[in-house]
Structure 1
Protein backbone atom coordinates (compact mmCIF):
# COMPACT_ATOMS: atom_id res chain seq x y z
CA UNK A 1 0.00 0.00 0.00
CA UNK A 2 1.19 3.49 -0.85
CA UNK A 3 0.27 6.87 0.57
CA UNK A 4 -0.16 9.30 -2.32
CA UNK A 5 0.01 13.04 -1.66
CA UNK A 6 -1.21 15.41 -4.36
CA UNK A 7 0.03 18.98 -4.51
CA UNK A 8 3.31 18.05 -2.85
CA UNK A 9 4.97 21.06 -4.46
CA UNK A 10 2.64 23.30 -2.44
CA UNK A 11 2.94 24.30 1.19
CA UNK A 12 0.45 21.89 2.77
CA UNK A 13 1.31 18.92 0.56
CA UNK A 14 5.04 19.28 1.19
CA UNK A 15 4.52 19.63 4.94
CA UNK A 16 2.33 16.52 4.93
CA UNK A 17 5.04 14.47 3.22
CA UNK A 18 7.54 15.73 5.79
CA UNK A 19 5.14 14.83 8.61
CA UNK A 20 4.68 11.31 7.21
CA UNK A 21 8.42 10.77 7.14
CA UNK A 22 8.78 12.18 10.66
CA UNK A 23 6.15 9.70 11.83
CA UNK A 24 8.34 6.88 10.55
CA UNK A 25 6.49 6.00 7.36
CA UNK A 26 8.85 4.25 4.95
CA UNK A 27 9.78 6.78 2.23
CA UNK A 28 9.32 4.03 -0.36
CA UNK A 29 5.64 3.88 0.62
CA UNK A 30 5.09 7.60 -0.03
CA UNK A 31 4.27 8.97 -3.49
CA UNK A 32 4.64 12.75 -3.74
CA UNK A 33 2.97 14.26 -6.80
CA UNK A 34 2.86 17.68 -8.39
CA UNK A 35 2.96 19.53 -11.67
CA UNK A 36 6.73 20.06 -11.50
CA UNK A 37 8.52 16.92 -10.36
CA UNK A 38 11.86 18.74 -10.46
CA UNK A 39 10.67 20.67 -7.40
CA UNK A 40 10.39 17.33 -5.59
CA UNK A 41 13.94 16.19 -6.37
CA UNK A 42 15.09 16.48 -2.76
CA UNK A 43 12.30 14.13 -1.67
CA UNK A 44 13.33 11.65 -4.35
CA UNK A 45 16.86 11.73 -2.93
CA UNK A 46 15.38 10.69 0.41
CA UNK A 47 13.65 7.67 -1.12
CA UNK A 48 10.19 9.13 -1.76
CA UNK A 49 8.66 8.24 -5.11
CA UNK A 50 7.88 11.41 -7.03
CA UNK A 51 5.43 11.55 -9.92
CA UNK A 52 3.83 14.20 -12.11
CA UNK A 53 0.14 14.93 -11.60
CA UNK A 54 -1.34 18.04 -13.16
CA UNK A 55 -4.90 18.75 -12.01
CA UNK A 56 -5.61 20.19 -15.47
CA UNK A 57 -4.37 17.08 -17.27
CA UNK A 58 -5.29 14.02 -15.21
CA UNK A 59 -4.79 10.77 -17.17
CA UNK A 60 -7.19 7.81 -17.15
CA UNK A 61 -4.71 5.70 -15.22
CA UNK A 62 -1.21 5.85 -13.77
CA UNK A 63 1.12 2.99 -12.78
CA UNK A 64 1.84 4.44 -9.34
CA UNK A 65 -1.74 4.33 -8.05
CA UNK A 66 -3.46 1.07 -7.21
CA UNK A 67 -5.89 -0.89 -5.10
CA UNK A 68 -5.68 -0.21 -1.39
CA UNK A 69 -3.66 3.00 -1.68
CA UNK A 70 -4.59 6.03 0.42
CA UNK A 71 -4.76 9.34 -1.44
CA UNK A 72 -4.55 12.83 0.01
CA UNK A 73 -6.36 15.21 -2.34
CA UNK A 74 -5.05 18.63 -1.37
CA UNK A 75 -7.62 21.10 -2.65
CA UNK A 76 -6.50 23.12 -5.65
CA UNK A 77 -5.67 26.80 -5.41
CA UNK A 78 -7.48 28.01 -8.54
CA UNK A 79 -10.86 29.33 -7.44
CA UNK A 80 -13.50 28.49 -10.04
CA UNK A 81 -11.61 25.48 -11.38
CA UNK A 82 -11.51 23.29 -8.29
CA UNK A 83 -14.57 21.12 -8.89
CA UNK A 84 -13.58 19.78 -12.34
CA UNK A 85 -9.96 19.43 -11.21
CA UNK A 86 -10.90 17.54 -8.07
CA UNK A 87 -13.44 15.41 -9.93
CA UNK A 88 -10.75 14.26 -12.35
CA UNK A 89 -8.53 13.14 -9.46
CA UNK A 90 -11.41 11.39 -7.69
CA UNK A 91 -12.29 9.53 -10.90
CA UNK A 92 -8.65 8.48 -11.30
CA UNK A 93 -8.68 7.18 -7.73
CA UNK A 94 -11.99 5.36 -8.26
CA UNK A 95 -10.74 3.60 -11.39
CA UNK A 96 -7.61 2.55 -9.51
CA UNK A 97 -9.66 1.12 -6.65
CA UNK A 98 -7.88 3.04 -3.90
CA UNK A 99 -8.65 2.17 -0.33
CA UNK A 100 -9.49 5.68 0.84
CA UNK A 101 -9.40 9.29 -0.30
CA UNK A 102 -8.63 12.09 2.16
CA UNK A 103 -9.72 15.55 1.13
CA UNK A 104 -8.75 18.95 2.58
CA UNK A 105 -12.06 20.80 2.72
CA UNK A 106 -13.40 23.93 4.44
CA UNK A 107 -15.11 24.52 7.80
CA UNK A 108 -18.70 23.19 7.87
CA UNK A 109 -18.44 22.99 4.08
CA UNK A 110 -21.94 21.64 3.48
CA UNK A 111 -23.72 23.95 5.93
CA UNK A 112 -22.18 27.42 5.89
CA UNK A 113 -22.33 30.78 4.15
CA UNK A 114 -18.52 30.86 3.97
CA UNK A 115 -17.63 32.34 0.59
CA UNK A 116 -15.04 29.70 -0.23
CA UNK A 117 -17.19 26.72 0.82
CA UNK A 118 -19.30 25.93 -2.30
CA UNK A 119 -16.47 24.34 -4.31
CA UNK A 120 -15.46 22.29 -1.28
CA UNK A 121 -19.03 21.16 -0.65
CA UNK A 122 -19.33 20.17 -4.32
CA UNK A 123 -16.10 18.17 -4.09
CA UNK A 124 -17.34 16.40 -0.97
CA UNK A 125 -20.46 15.38 -2.90
CA UNK A 126 -18.33 14.05 -5.76
CA UNK A 127 -16.27 11.98 -3.33
CA UNK A 128 -19.33 10.58 -1.56
CA UNK A 129 -20.87 9.68 -4.93
CA UNK A 130 -17.70 7.82 -5.97
CA UNK A 131 -18.37 5.12 -3.39
CA UNK A 132 -14.80 5.32 -2.08
CA UNK A 133 -14.15 5.35 1.65
CA UNK A 134 -13.22 8.91 2.56
CA UNK A 135 -11.98 11.25 5.25
CA UNK A 136 -12.82 14.95 5.09
CA UNK A 137 -10.37 17.28 6.80
CA UNK A 138 -12.32 20.51 7.07
CA UNK A 139 -9.34 22.74 7.72
CA UNK A 140 -9.87 26.05 9.44
CA UNK A 141 -7.75 29.16 8.91
CA UNK A 142 -3.97 28.96 8.69
CA UNK A 143 -1.85 31.36 10.75
CA UNK A 144 0.13 31.90 7.56
CA UNK A 145 -2.90 33.60 6.00
CA UNK A 146 -1.75 36.66 7.98
CA UNK A 147 1.90 36.73 6.98
CA UNK A 148 1.20 39.64 4.60
CA UNK A 149 -0.66 41.43 7.39
CA UNK A 150 2.40 40.96 9.59
CA UNK A 151 4.61 42.57 6.95
CA UNK A 152 2.11 45.42 6.68
CA UNK A 153 2.12 45.87 10.45
CA UNK A 154 5.91 45.95 10.42
CA UNK A 155 5.85 48.71 7.82
CA UNK A 156 2.88 50.78 9.00
CA UNK A 157 2.03 49.83 12.58
CA UNK A 158 -1.49 48.86 11.57
CA UNK A 159 -3.60 45.83 10.72
CA UNK A 160 -6.57 46.71 8.53
CA UNK A 161 -9.75 44.87 7.71
CA UNK A 162 -13.51 44.69 7.88
CA UNK A 163 -13.74 41.70 10.22
CA UNK A 164 -15.07 43.79 13.12
CA UNK A 165 -14.89 41.88 16.38
CA UNK A 166 -15.03 38.49 14.65
CA UNK A 167 -12.76 35.71 15.84
CA UNK A 168 -10.41 33.35 13.98
CA UNK A 169 -9.58 29.90 15.36
CA UNK A 170 -6.38 29.49 13.38
CA UNK A 171 -3.42 27.14 13.65
CA UNK A 172 -0.15 26.91 11.74
CA UNK A 173 -0.25 25.04 8.45
CA UNK A 174 2.18 22.47 9.88
CA UNK A 175 -0.40 21.44 12.50
CA UNK A 176 -2.96 20.70 9.78
CA UNK A 177 -0.31 18.80 7.80
CA UNK A 178 0.59 16.71 10.83
CA UNK A 179 -3.08 15.87 11.35
CA UNK A 180 -3.31 14.83 7.71
CA UNK A 181 -0.30 12.56 8.19
CA UNK A 182 -1.99 10.95 11.20
CA UNK A 183 -5.16 10.30 9.24
CA UNK A 184 -3.24 8.96 6.23
CA UNK A 185 -1.06 6.57 8.21
CA UNK A 186 -3.47 5.16 10.81
CA UNK A 187 -6.73 3.23 10.73
CA UNK A 188 -10.14 4.23 12.03
CA UNK A 189 -10.86 7.23 9.82
CA UNK A 190 -13.15 5.74 7.18
CA UNK A 191 -16.03 8.08 6.29
CA UNK A 192 -15.01 10.48 9.06
CA UNK A 193 -15.52 14.23 8.89
CA UNK A 194 -13.16 16.28 11.05
CA UNK A 195 -13.82 19.96 11.76
CA UNK A 196 -10.30 21.20 12.42
CA UNK A 197 -9.33 24.47 14.08
CA UNK A 198 -6.85 26.00 16.46
CA UNK A 199 -7.46 25.81 20.19
CA UNK A 200 -7.80 29.58 20.64
CA UNK A 201 -10.06 31.95 18.70
CA UNK A 202 -8.52 35.42 18.51
CA UNK A 203 -9.85 38.81 17.43
CA UNK A 204 -8.03 41.22 15.13
CA UNK A 205 -7.25 43.35 18.17
CA UNK A 206 -5.52 40.27 19.56
CA UNK A 207 -3.71 39.79 16.24
CA UNK A 208 -2.47 43.37 16.30
CA UNK A 209 -1.33 43.02 19.91
CA UNK A 210 0.55 39.81 19.04
CA UNK A 211 2.23 41.51 16.10
CA UNK A 212 3.17 44.44 18.32
CA UNK A 213 4.63 42.19 21.00
CA UNK A 214 6.77 40.33 18.49
CA UNK A 215 7.85 43.46 16.62
CA UNK A 216 8.47 45.51 19.74
CA UNK A 217 6.29 48.38 18.52
CA UNK A 218 2.70 49.52 18.81
CA UNK A 219 0.38 47.90 16.26
CA UNK A 220 -3.30 48.78 16.11
CA UNK A 221 -6.26 47.26 14.33
CA UNK A 222 -7.93 49.69 11.96
CA UNK A 223 -11.58 48.78 11.50
CA UNK A 224 -12.87 49.50 8.01
CA UNK A 225 -16.28 49.14 6.42
CA UNK A 226 -16.46 46.57 3.61
CA UNK A 227 -16.54 49.35 1.01
CA UNK A 228 -13.58 51.16 2.60
CA UNK A 229 -11.59 47.93 2.64
CA UNK A 230 -12.48 47.17 -0.98
CA UNK A 231 -11.37 50.63 -2.11
CA UNK A 232 -8.12 50.28 -0.18
CA UNK A 233 -7.39 46.93 -1.82
CA UNK A 234 -8.21 48.25 -5.28
CA UNK A 235 -5.92 51.18 -4.65
CA UNK A 236 -3.15 48.74 -3.71
CA UNK A 237 -3.47 47.10 -7.13
CA UNK A 238 -5.77 44.14 -6.53
CA UNK A 239 -8.33 43.36 -9.21
CA UNK A 240 -12.03 43.71 -8.44
CA UNK A 241 -12.65 39.98 -8.08
CA UNK A 242 -9.78 39.42 -5.65
CA UNK A 243 -10.60 42.52 -3.61
CA UNK A 244 -14.24 41.48 -3.29
CA UNK A 245 -13.20 37.97 -2.26
CA UNK A 246 -10.91 39.29 0.50
CA UNK A 247 -13.66 41.60 1.76
CA UNK A 248 -16.17 38.74 1.75
CA UNK A 249 -13.81 36.56 3.78
CA UNK A 250 -13.48 39.31 6.39
CA UNK A 251 -17.27 39.57 6.48
CA UNK A 252 -17.44 35.81 7.09
CA UNK A 253 -15.07 36.30 10.02
CA UNK A 254 -17.26 39.11 11.37
CA UNK A 255 -20.21 36.71 11.13
CA UNK A 256 -18.41 34.16 13.30
CA UNK A 257 -17.95 31.50 10.62
CA UNK A 258 -14.29 30.69 11.34
CA UNK A 259 -14.13 31.31 15.08
CA UNK A 260 -15.36 27.91 16.26
CA UNK A 261 -12.89 25.95 18.39
CA UNK A 262 -13.72 22.26 18.04
CA UNK A 263 -10.72 20.63 19.71
CA UNK A 264 -10.61 18.02 16.95
CA UNK A 265 -7.27 19.16 15.56
CA UNK A 266 -5.60 18.89 18.97
CA UNK A 267 -7.19 15.47 19.44
CA UNK A 268 -5.70 14.17 16.19
CA UNK A 269 -2.32 15.67 17.07
CA UNK A 270 -2.34 14.35 20.61
CA UNK A 271 -1.22 17.78 21.84
CA UNK A 272 -2.43 21.39 21.90
CA UNK A 273 -2.22 23.35 18.67
CA UNK A 274 0.73 25.73 18.37
CA UNK A 275 -0.17 29.20 19.74
CA UNK A 276 -0.45 32.11 17.30
CA UNK A 277 2.38 34.04 18.98
CA UNK A 278 4.78 31.14 18.49
CA UNK A 279 4.03 31.06 14.79
CA UNK A 280 4.38 34.84 14.45
CA UNK A 281 7.76 34.78 16.21
CA UNK A 282 9.00 32.37 13.54
CA UNK A 283 8.36 35.06 10.89
CA UNK A 284 10.90 37.52 12.31
Structure 2
Protein backbone atom coordinates (compact mmCIF):
# COMPACT_ATOMS: atom_id res chain seq x y z
CA UNK A 1 0.00 0.00 0.00
CA UNK A 2 1.09 3.55 -0.74
CA UNK A 3 1.54 5.72 2.34
CA UNK A 4 0.11 9.23 2.28
CA UNK A 5 2.02 10.40 5.34
CA UNK A 6 3.06 13.63 3.62
CA UNK A 7 -0.38 14.45 2.23
CA UNK A 8 -2.67 17.04 3.81
CA UNK A 9 -4.98 14.94 6.01
CA UNK A 10 -8.07 16.44 7.63
CA UNK A 11 -9.98 14.79 10.48
CA UNK A 12 -13.44 16.18 11.26
CA UNK A 13 -14.86 16.16 14.77
CA UNK A 14 -11.31 16.14 16.09
CA UNK A 15 -12.35 17.22 19.58
CA UNK A 16 -14.59 14.15 19.90
CA UNK A 17 -13.57 10.80 21.34
CA UNK A 18 -12.87 9.04 18.06
CA UNK A 19 -11.54 12.04 16.15
CA UNK A 20 -8.96 12.97 18.77
CA UNK A 21 -7.60 9.42 18.91
CA UNK A 22 -7.38 9.36 15.10
CA UNK A 23 -5.35 12.59 15.11
CA UNK A 24 -3.01 11.26 17.79
CA UNK A 25 -2.56 8.05 15.78
CA UNK A 26 -1.70 9.98 12.63
CA UNK A 27 1.00 11.86 14.52
CA UNK A 28 2.34 8.64 16.05
CA UNK A 29 2.58 7.09 12.59
CA UNK A 30 4.57 9.92 11.10
CA UNK A 31 1.96 12.01 9.28
CA UNK A 32 3.48 15.42 8.60
CA UNK A 33 0.46 17.51 7.56
CA UNK A 34 -2.34 16.72 10.01
CA UNK A 35 -5.32 19.07 10.12
CA UNK A 36 -7.90 18.87 12.90
CA UNK A 37 -11.37 20.21 12.17
CA UNK A 38 -13.54 21.29 15.10
CA UNK A 39 -16.35 23.66 16.00
CA UNK A 40 -14.24 25.00 18.85
CA UNK A 41 -10.52 25.36 18.02
CA UNK A 42 -9.80 26.40 21.61
CA UNK A 43 -10.39 22.79 22.67
CA UNK A 44 -7.48 21.53 20.58
CA UNK A 45 -4.64 23.79 21.61
CA UNK A 46 -2.77 20.79 23.00
CA UNK A 47 -2.80 19.22 19.54
CA UNK A 48 -1.73 22.51 17.97
CA UNK A 49 1.27 22.45 20.30
CA UNK A 50 2.20 19.08 18.74
CA UNK A 51 2.23 20.52 15.25
CA UNK A 52 -1.37 19.86 14.22
CA UNK A 53 -3.04 22.61 12.20
CA UNK A 54 -6.37 23.33 13.88
CA UNK A 55 -9.16 24.72 11.68
CA UNK A 56 -12.70 25.75 12.52
CA UNK A 57 -15.17 23.36 10.87
CA UNK A 58 -18.83 23.45 11.83
CA UNK A 59 -21.15 21.09 9.95
CA UNK A 60 -24.02 23.50 10.68
CA UNK A 61 -22.13 26.47 9.23
CA UNK A 62 -21.30 26.08 5.53
CA UNK A 63 -19.27 29.28 5.65
CA UNK A 64 -16.53 27.33 7.48
CA UNK A 65 -16.18 24.66 4.79
CA UNK A 66 -13.96 26.36 2.20
CA UNK A 67 -11.26 27.48 4.63
CA UNK A 68 -11.34 24.17 6.52
CA UNK A 69 -10.94 22.14 3.32
CA UNK A 70 -8.40 24.34 1.56
CA UNK A 71 -5.50 22.25 0.29
CA UNK A 72 -6.83 19.02 1.84
CA UNK A 73 -6.04 15.88 -0.13
CA UNK A 74 -7.58 13.20 2.07
CA UNK A 75 -10.54 13.66 4.42
CA UNK A 76 -11.80 11.59 7.35
CA UNK A 77 -15.46 12.35 8.02
CA UNK A 78 -16.32 11.16 11.50
CA UNK A 79 -20.10 10.73 11.42
CA UNK A 80 -21.74 13.48 13.44
CA UNK A 81 -23.98 13.00 16.48
CA UNK A 82 -26.82 15.08 15.01
CA UNK A 83 -29.22 12.16 14.62
CA UNK A 84 -31.98 13.06 12.20
CA UNK A 85 -29.89 15.78 10.55
CA UNK A 86 -26.54 14.21 9.89
CA UNK A 87 -27.29 12.85 6.43
CA UNK A 88 -27.88 16.40 5.21
CA UNK A 89 -24.89 17.72 7.18
CA UNK A 90 -22.61 15.12 5.68
CA UNK A 91 -24.00 15.57 2.18
CA UNK A 92 -23.01 19.23 2.38
CA UNK A 93 -19.44 18.52 3.47
CA UNK A 94 -19.04 15.87 0.76
CA UNK A 95 -20.07 18.36 -1.94
CA UNK A 96 -17.71 20.95 -0.44
CA UNK A 97 -14.88 18.41 -0.36
CA UNK A 98 -15.27 17.67 -4.05
CA UNK A 99 -15.30 21.38 -4.87
CA UNK A 100 -12.15 21.87 -2.77
CA UNK A 101 -10.27 19.17 -4.66
CA UNK A 102 -10.20 16.45 -2.01
CA UNK A 103 -9.10 13.16 -3.58
CA UNK A 104 -10.17 10.53 -1.02
CA UNK A 105 -12.86 10.39 1.66
CA UNK A 106 -12.84 8.02 4.64
CA UNK A 107 -16.20 7.80 6.42
CA UNK A 108 -17.16 6.12 9.71
CA UNK A 109 -20.41 4.32 8.94
CA UNK A 110 -22.33 1.45 10.54
CA UNK A 111 -22.78 -2.26 9.78
CA UNK A 112 -25.48 -3.27 7.31
CA UNK A 113 -26.18 0.35 6.37
CA UNK A 114 -29.40 0.37 4.34
CA UNK A 115 -32.41 2.60 3.67
CA UNK A 116 -35.04 0.42 5.38
CA UNK A 117 -37.45 2.45 7.50
CA UNK A 118 -37.11 0.00 10.40
CA UNK A 119 -33.28 -0.04 10.33
CA UNK A 120 -32.84 2.41 13.19
CA UNK A 121 -30.02 4.88 12.54
CA UNK A 122 -28.74 3.04 9.48
CA UNK A 123 -30.60 5.02 6.79
CA UNK A 124 -28.58 8.15 7.60
CA UNK A 125 -25.36 6.22 7.15
CA UNK A 126 -26.66 4.58 3.98
CA UNK A 127 -27.56 7.86 2.30
CA UNK A 128 -24.20 9.33 3.29
CA UNK A 129 -22.49 6.34 1.68
CA UNK A 130 -24.58 6.86 -1.47
CA UNK A 131 -23.57 10.52 -1.57
CA UNK A 132 -19.90 9.64 -1.22
CA UNK A 133 -20.10 7.03 -3.98
CA UNK A 134 -21.93 9.48 -6.25
CA UNK A 135 -19.25 12.12 -5.73
CA UNK A 136 -16.85 10.30 -8.01
CA UNK A 137 -14.07 10.60 -5.43
CA UNK A 138 -12.15 7.61 -4.14
CA UNK A 139 -13.45 6.47 -0.77
CA UNK A 140 -13.11 4.06 2.12
CA UNK A 141 -16.35 3.37 3.95
CA UNK A 142 -15.55 1.98 7.39
CA UNK A 143 -18.62 0.28 8.84
CA UNK A 144 -17.73 0.41 12.51
CA UNK A 145 -19.45 -2.31 14.52
CA UNK A 146 -20.85 -1.72 17.98
CA UNK A 147 -18.34 0.01 20.24
CA UNK A 148 -17.41 -2.12 23.22
CA UNK A 149 -17.68 1.05 25.32
CA UNK A 150 -21.44 1.10 24.75
CA UNK A 151 -21.87 -2.02 26.86
CA UNK A 152 -20.51 -0.20 29.91
CA UNK A 153 -23.45 2.21 30.03
CA UNK A 154 -25.79 -0.26 31.74
CA UNK A 155 -23.23 -2.80 32.94
CA UNK A 156 -23.54 -1.86 36.62
CA UNK A 157 -27.34 -2.10 36.45
CA UNK A 158 -27.15 -5.47 34.70
CA UNK A 159 -24.83 -6.82 37.38
CA UNK A 160 -26.78 -5.38 40.31
CA UNK A 161 -30.11 -6.65 38.97
CA UNK A 162 -28.66 -9.95 37.82
CA UNK A 163 -30.59 -9.64 34.56
CA UNK A 164 -29.49 -8.88 31.01
CA UNK A 165 -32.44 -8.32 28.67
CA UNK A 166 -32.00 -9.06 24.98
CA UNK A 167 -33.87 -10.29 21.95
CA UNK A 168 -34.65 -13.93 21.35
CA UNK A 169 -32.16 -15.56 18.98
CA UNK A 170 -29.17 -13.22 19.48
CA UNK A 171 -26.35 -14.42 17.20
CA UNK A 172 -23.61 -12.24 18.59
CA UNK A 173 -22.00 -8.84 18.13
CA UNK A 174 -18.37 -8.33 17.10
CA UNK A 175 -17.72 -5.48 19.54
CA UNK A 176 -14.81 -3.23 18.58
CA UNK A 177 -13.22 -0.68 20.88
CA UNK A 178 -13.46 2.98 19.92
CA UNK A 179 -9.68 3.17 20.10
CA UNK A 180 -9.29 0.36 17.57
CA UNK A 181 -11.88 1.99 15.30
CA UNK A 182 -10.09 5.35 15.50
CA UNK A 183 -6.71 3.85 14.78
CA UNK A 184 -8.22 1.98 11.85
CA UNK A 185 -9.65 5.21 10.45
CA UNK A 186 -6.24 6.85 10.77
CA UNK A 187 -4.65 3.89 8.99
CA UNK A 188 -7.17 4.13 6.17
CA UNK A 189 -6.46 7.85 5.82
CA UNK A 190 -2.77 7.01 5.51
CA UNK A 191 -3.00 3.95 3.26
CA UNK A 192 -6.35 3.23 1.62
CA UNK A 193 -6.77 3.61 -2.13
CA UNK A 194 -9.59 3.06 -4.58
CA UNK A 195 -13.21 2.59 -3.61
CA UNK A 196 -13.99 0.13 -0.80
CA UNK A 197 -16.59 -0.64 1.85
CA UNK A 198 -15.18 -2.49 4.86
CA UNK A 199 -16.49 -3.77 8.19
CA UNK A 200 -14.47 -2.76 11.25
CA UNK A 201 -14.96 -5.50 13.84
CA UNK A 202 -13.58 -7.07 16.96
CA UNK A 203 -11.96 -10.49 17.00
CA UNK A 204 -15.10 -12.58 17.55
CA UNK A 205 -18.87 -12.22 17.93
CA UNK A 206 -20.12 -12.15 21.53
CA UNK A 207 -23.66 -13.28 22.33
CA UNK A 208 -25.75 -11.94 25.21
CA UNK A 209 -25.23 -15.27 26.99
CA UNK A 210 -21.46 -14.90 26.68
CA UNK A 211 -21.59 -11.26 27.76
CA UNK A 212 -23.65 -12.16 30.84
CA UNK A 213 -21.24 -14.97 31.72
CA UNK A 214 -18.28 -12.58 31.48
CA UNK A 215 -19.99 -9.98 33.66
CA UNK A 216 -20.85 -12.68 36.18
CA UNK A 217 -17.31 -14.03 36.28
CA UNK A 218 -15.71 -10.63 36.79
CA UNK A 219 -18.29 -9.33 39.26
CA UNK A 220 -18.64 -12.56 41.20
CA UNK A 221 -22.44 -12.35 40.91
CA UNK A 222 -24.92 -14.40 38.88
CA UNK A 223 -26.25 -12.68 35.74
CA UNK A 224 -29.13 -14.27 33.86
CA UNK A 225 -30.10 -13.54 30.25
CA UNK A 226 -33.79 -12.74 29.80
CA UNK A 227 -34.73 -13.24 26.14
CA UNK A 228 -37.71 -11.12 25.07
CA UNK A 229 -39.45 -9.84 21.94
CA UNK A 230 -38.65 -6.53 20.20
CA UNK A 231 -41.95 -5.02 21.42
CA UNK A 232 -41.21 -6.04 25.00
CA UNK A 233 -37.67 -4.68 24.80
CA UNK A 234 -38.79 -1.32 23.45
CA UNK A 235 -41.55 -1.05 26.03
CA UNK A 236 -39.05 -1.72 28.81
CA UNK A 237 -36.61 0.86 27.50
CA UNK A 238 -39.27 3.54 27.27
CA UNK A 239 -40.48 2.67 30.78
CA UNK A 240 -36.87 3.11 31.95
CA UNK A 241 -36.90 6.66 30.60
CA UNK A 242 -35.42 6.38 27.11
CA UNK A 243 -37.07 8.48 24.37
CA UNK A 244 -39.27 6.42 22.05
CA UNK A 245 -37.11 7.14 18.99
CA UNK A 246 -33.84 6.26 20.68
CA UNK A 247 -35.33 3.09 22.14
CA UNK A 248 -36.50 2.13 18.66
CA UNK A 249 -33.00 2.63 17.28
CA UNK A 250 -31.51 0.39 19.97
CA UNK A 251 -34.09 -2.30 19.33
CA UNK A 252 -33.35 -2.10 15.60
CA UNK A 253 -29.69 -2.70 16.36
CA UNK A 254 -30.52 -5.77 18.40
CA UNK A 255 -32.81 -7.07 15.65
CA UNK A 256 -29.82 -6.88 13.33
CA UNK A 257 -27.83 -8.94 15.82
CA UNK A 258 -30.52 -11.60 15.65
CA UNK A 259 -30.38 -11.57 11.84
CA UNK A 260 -26.61 -11.97 12.06
CA UNK A 261 -25.43 -8.65 10.64
CA UNK A 262 -23.30 -7.93 13.70
CA UNK A 263 -21.55 -11.27 13.88
CA UNK A 264 -19.22 -10.49 10.96
CA UNK A 265 -15.50 -10.76 11.71
CA UNK A 266 -12.83 -9.17 9.48
CA UNK A 267 -9.11 -8.42 9.54
CA UNK A 268 -9.66 -4.71 8.82
CA UNK A 269 -8.40 -3.47 12.21
CA UNK A 270 -5.18 -5.45 11.94
CA UNK A 271 -4.71 -4.54 8.28
CA UNK A 272 -4.89 -0.80 8.91
CA UNK A 273 -3.27 -0.66 12.35
CA UNK A 274 -0.79 -3.53 12.34
CA UNK A 275 -2.31 -4.78 15.60
CA UNK A 276 -4.99 -7.32 16.37
CA UNK A 277 -8.20 -5.84 17.78
CA UNK A 278 -8.69 -5.79 21.54
CA UNK A 279 -10.89 -8.72 22.53
CA UNK A 280 -14.18 -7.99 24.27
CA UNK A 281 -13.07 -10.00 27.32
CA UNK A 282 -9.85 -8.01 27.62
CA UNK A 283 -11.72 -4.73 27.24
CA UNK A 284 -14.28 -5.57 29.94
CA UNK A 285 -11.57 -6.88 32.25
CA UNK A 286 -9.70 -3.59 31.87
CA UNK A 287 -12.90 -1.74 32.75
CA UNK A 288 -14.07 -4.03 35.52
CA UNK A 289 -14.85 -1.06 37.76
CA UNK A 290 -17.76 -0.15 35.45
CA UNK A 291 -19.51 -3.33 36.59
CA UNK A 292 -19.90 -1.84 40.04
CA UNK A 293 -18.22 -4.83 41.61
Shift of 1:174: 0.8
The match for 2:260 is 256
1:91 aligned onto 2:85: no
Shift of 1:241: 1.4
1:202 aligned onto 2:195: no
Normalised TM-score (structure 2): 0.88
Aligned partners of 1:37, 1:130: CA distance in 2, in Å?
29
- SS of 2:269's equivalent in the other structure is helix
Aligned partners of 1:249, 1:64: CA distance in 2, in Å?
34
- 4+ runs deviating over 6 angstroms: none
The match for 2:194 is 190
Aligned partners of 1:264, 1:111: CA distance in 2, in Å?
24
Normalised TM-score (structure 1): 0.91
C-alpha change, 1:220 and 1:41, in structure 2 (3 Å) is farther
2:126 to 114, 121, 124: 121
Residues 155-203 of structure 1 deviation map (CA, whole Å, 9 limit, x = unaligned): 32322222533210111111111111111112x5221222221120110
1:50 to 41, 51, 54: 54
- SS of 2:94's equivalent in the other structure is helix
Q: Equivalences for 1:138-217 in 2 at 5 Å?
A: 138-162=143-167, 164-186=169-191, 188-217=192-221
C-alpha change, 1:224 and 1:108, in structure 2 (3 Å) is closer
C-alpha change, 1:79 and 1:168, in structure 2 (3 Å) is same
In the alignment, is the contact (CA less than 8 A) between 1:149 and 1:159 conserved in 2?
A: no
Residues 60-110 of structure 1 deviation map (CA, whole Å, 9 limit, x = unaligned): 743342345211011112222111100111112111101211111122425
In the alignment, is the contact (CA less than 8 A) between 2:9 and 2:34 conserved in 1?
A: yes
- SS of 2:180's equivalent in the other structure is helix
The match for 1:130 is 135
Residue correspondences, number = 281
Residues 209-265 of structure 1 deviation map (CA, whole Å, 9 limit, x = unaligned): 122222232222222222222222112111221222222221121111211113333
In the alignment, is the contact (CA less than 8 A) between 2:163 and 2:226 conserved in 1?
A: yes
The match for 1:39 is 43
Aligned partners of 1:204, 1:153: CA distance in 2, in Å?
12
Which ranges of structure 2 fall in alignment gaps of 5 or more residues? 1-6
Which ranges of structure 1 fall in alignment gaps of 5 or more residues? none
C-alpha change, 1:225 and 1:100, in structure 2 (3 Å) is same
